[in-house]
Amino acid sequence: MTQSFDPPRRLTIMGSTGSIGTSTLDVIRQQGGRDCFEIMALTGNSNIALLAEQAITTGAKLAVTADETQYKALQDALSGHGIAVAAGASGLQEAASLEADWVMAAIVGVAGLKPTLTAAARGADIALANKECLVSAGDLFIETIRKSGGRLLPVDSEHSAIFQCLDERHRDAVERIVLTASGGPFRSFSREQMADVDVETARAHPNWSMGLKVSVGSASMFNKALEMIEAKFLFDLAPEQVEVIIHPQSIIHSMVGYTDGSVLAQLGVPDMRTAIGYALSYPHRQPLDVDRLDFARLSRLDFEAPDEKRFPALRLARQVLERGGLQGAVFSAAEEAAFDAFVAGHIRFLAMADVVEEVMDDMKHLPKANSLDDIFAADAEAHRRAKDCVSRKAL
Ligand code: NAD
Ligand code: MG
C-alpha cells in the first residue's frame, strides 16, 4: 500500500546517479512514484546515459550535470522530452533553488556543500546522505536549517538509527550514542598487512554496497571518523558522548544510551533503502520491499573495541571534535585529497592518515569560521597542503 500526498510532494535528488541516488529512486518508485511525487530536479556528474534515463522515467523538470563538458551530451540525450537541462556549479545551484519540499543530498564530498546549503536556506527538508557537509560546515549548516525552519533528516544508516532511537521526550536523559562500524575488509589486518593493499581490495566492503569513497573510507575507518563528527552536529553532542564499537555483522546500525542504563538500538539488514525510506516518510513509516531480518538464522551478534593504533582516523576525529572551529573543514578536505591520491595510485593506503594528520597539525590555529567563504578558504588551503604532503610521500 502506498500513501498519496495531496498535492504531490515535490522532490529533488542531488547525486541521483550514485549509490544513494539510485536507491532513493527505487524507494520513490516503491512508495508511489509519479502518482505521489513530482520530481523537480535530478543531478549527476559524468554518467549522462543514466541521468537522462532517470530524468525521462521520472518526468523530472530539470536535469543537471555537474560536469560542464557534458552539457551538450545531456541536452542531446534529453532532446524532445521537455526536460530543462543545466550544467556546472550554476546548474547545481539552479537545481537546489527549485521549489522542492524534500531534497536528497547525495553528492559525494565537499562538492555537495553549496547546493545543499542553498536548498536548506530556502526551507526544504534535507535528507542528508552527504556527511562531508556537516563535517566541513557543521555550525553554519545547523544554523541555516534552524533559521529556515526546514527539517534535517539523517540518511547515513548510523545516524538514521540514532534518529529512530532518540526519544525527544527524553532528550535530556541521553548519555551517549554508540556508532557501530563493520570494521571493513581490513578489520583483522595488522598494519604490516595493510601496508600494500590496493584500491580493489580496499573497496570490497563485506556487508554494504556503496560508492567508492565511502567504501574505501570504511576500510580505513575514515568513514567512521566523518560519522563521529556528523553525529556531534546532528544530535548536538559533547565529544565524550560519541562512541564507536566494531560490530562485524552490520545488523545493529547504531544505539542511544540513556542515563538510566537503557540502550535503544535500531536493527535491520544492511540496505540503505530503509534509512532513505524513513527520511522520505518521516514522521510516518511506509512499507518497503527489503529483506527482513531472520533472527533464527542470525545466531550471533559480535562486538569488539576499535583499535585506534591500526585505524588512526578515529583518533584524528576525536581531535577534530575537541579542537572544533575550522578543523572539520581541514579534516574533510585533507581526507578527500588523501583519498584521491590513494585511488590514483600516488600514495599507499596507510599514508592517507599521515597526510590528514600532518595537514590538521599545520592548520590547527585557524580561527572559527564566520562564513561559507572562510570554510572554502580553509578547504582550498588544506587541499593545497595535502597535495604537497602527497608529493613528499608519493610512491
Ligand atoms: P557515489 O559515488 O555512488 O555517487 C555520488 C554522486 O555524486 C553521483 O551522482 C555523482 O554523479 C555525483 N558527483 C560526483 N562528483 C560530483 C561533483 N564534483 N559535483 C557534483 N556531483 C558529483 O556516492 P554514494 O556512495 O552514493 O555517496 C553519496 C554520499 O552519501 C557521500 O557523501 C557518502 O558518504 C554518503 N553515504 C553513502 C552511503 C552508501 O551506502 N553509499 C551510506 C551513507 C552515506
Ligand atoms: Mg554510515
The 10s digit of each residue's pLDDT in 361-378 is 999 988 888 899 999 999
CA distance 16 to 104: 9
pLDDT at res. 179? 98
Ligand 1: atom nearest CA of 272 is 40
- Weakest mean pLDDT among 2-16, 21-35, 164-178, 275-289: 2-16
Give the distance (Å) from ligand 1 centre to CA of residue 6: 31
Q: Dump pLDDT digits (tens) for 55-75.
A: 999 999 999 999 999 999 999
Q: What confidence tier does 304 reach under pLDDT thresholds 50, 70, 90?
A: very high
CA angle 113/324/265 to nearest 5° reads 75
Determine contact, residues 327/364, Cβ cutoff 8 Å.
yes
H helix or E strand, kind and range, residue 11:
strand 9-14
Share of the chain above pLDDT 70, in %: 98
Q: Dump pLDDT digits (tens) for 109-139.
A: 999 999 999 999 999 999 999 999 999 999 9
pLDDT at res. 299? 86
For residue 220, what are the contacts with CB-CB under 8 A and spacing of at least 6?
A: 184, 202, 311, 313, 349, 352, 353
Determine contact, residues 74/85, Cβ cutoff 8 Å.
yes
Q: Dump pLDDT digits (tens) for 216-237.
A: 999 999 999 999 999 999 999 9
Average pLDDT over residues 274-296: 97
Q: What confidence tier does 207 reach under pLDDT thresholds 50, 70, 90?
A: confident
Backbone phi and psi for residue 176, each to the nearest 5 degrees, phi listed first? -160, 160
pLDDT at res. 367? 85
Share of the chain above pLDDT 90, in %: 93
pLDDT at res. 209? 87
The pLDDT of residue 303 is above 80: yes
Which residue puts its alpha carbon closest to atom 36 of ligand 1?
Answer: 129
Domain ranges for the chain, please list them. Answer: 9-154, 169-268+295-393
pLDDT at res. 165? 98
CA angle 17/291/281 to nearest 5° reads 60
Determine contact, residues 3/23, Cβ cutoff 8 Å.
no
Give the distance (Å) from ligand 2 centre to CA of residue 260: 27
Q: What is the pTM of this model?
A: 0.97
CA distance 157 to 272: 7
pLDDT at res. 7? 73
Closest CA to 135 of 153, 112, 158: 112
Residue tagged 512508495 (cell numbers): 31
pLDDT at res. 3? 53
Q: Dump pLDDT digits (tens) for 305-355.
A: 999 999 999 999 999 999 999 999 999 999 999 999 999 999 999 999 999
Sign of the four-CA dihedral 279, 283, 288, 291: positive
Higher pLDDT, 150 or 2: 150
CA distance 229 to 132: 9
Give the distance (Å) from ligand 2 centre to CA of residue 157: 5
Average pLDDT over residues 188-209: 94
The pLDDT of residue 1 is above 50: no
Ligand 1: atom nearest CA of 217 is 34
Average pLDDT over residues 26-47: 97
Which residue puts its alpha carbon closest to atom 4 of ligand 1?
Answer: 18
Which residue puts its alpha carbon closest to atom 20 of ligand 1?
Answer: 66
CA distance 238 to 228: 11
Determine contact, residues 342/354, Cβ cutoff 8 Å.
no
Determine contact, residues 210/106, Cβ cutoff 8 Å.
no
The pLDDT of residue 192 is above 80: yes
DSSP 198-251: -HHHHT--SS----HHHHHHHHHTHHHHHHHHHHHHHHT--GGGEEEEE-TT--
How far apart are the two ends of the chain, measured CA to CA in Å? 56
Mutate which of 48, 103, 108 for ligand 1 pocket (most atoms within 8 A of beta carbon) = 108
pLDDT at res. 370? 86
Mutate which of 103, 107, 141 for ligand 1 pocket (most atoms within 8 A of beta carbon) = 107
CA distance 333 to 342: 14
Average pLDDT over residues 163-190: 96
The topology under which CATH files domain 169-268+295-393 is Rna Polymerase Sigma Factor; Chain: A (1.10.1740)
The pLDDT of residue 384 is above 50: yes
pLDDT at res. 205? 87
DSSP 266: E
Closest CA to 180 of 278, 68, 255, 126: 255
Which residue puts its alpha carbon closest to atom 43 of ligand 1?
Answer: 156
Determine contact, residues 58/25, Cβ cutoff 8 Å.
yes
Residue 301, phi-psi category: left (phi > 0), alpha (psi -120 to 50), beta (remainder): beta
Ligand 1: atom nearest CA of 213 is 2
Average pLDDT over residues 132-156: 97
Q: Which residues line ligand 1 (CB under 6 A)?
A: 15-21, 44-45, 66, 106-108, 111, 129-132, 156, 208, 210-212, 214, 272
H helix or E strand, kind and range, residue 13:
strand 9-14
CA distance 27 to 23: 6
The pLDDT of residue 277 is above 50: yes
CATH homologous superfamily of 9-154: NAD(P)-binding Rossmann-like Domain (3.40.50.720)
DSSP 35-52: GTEEEEEEEESS-HHHHH
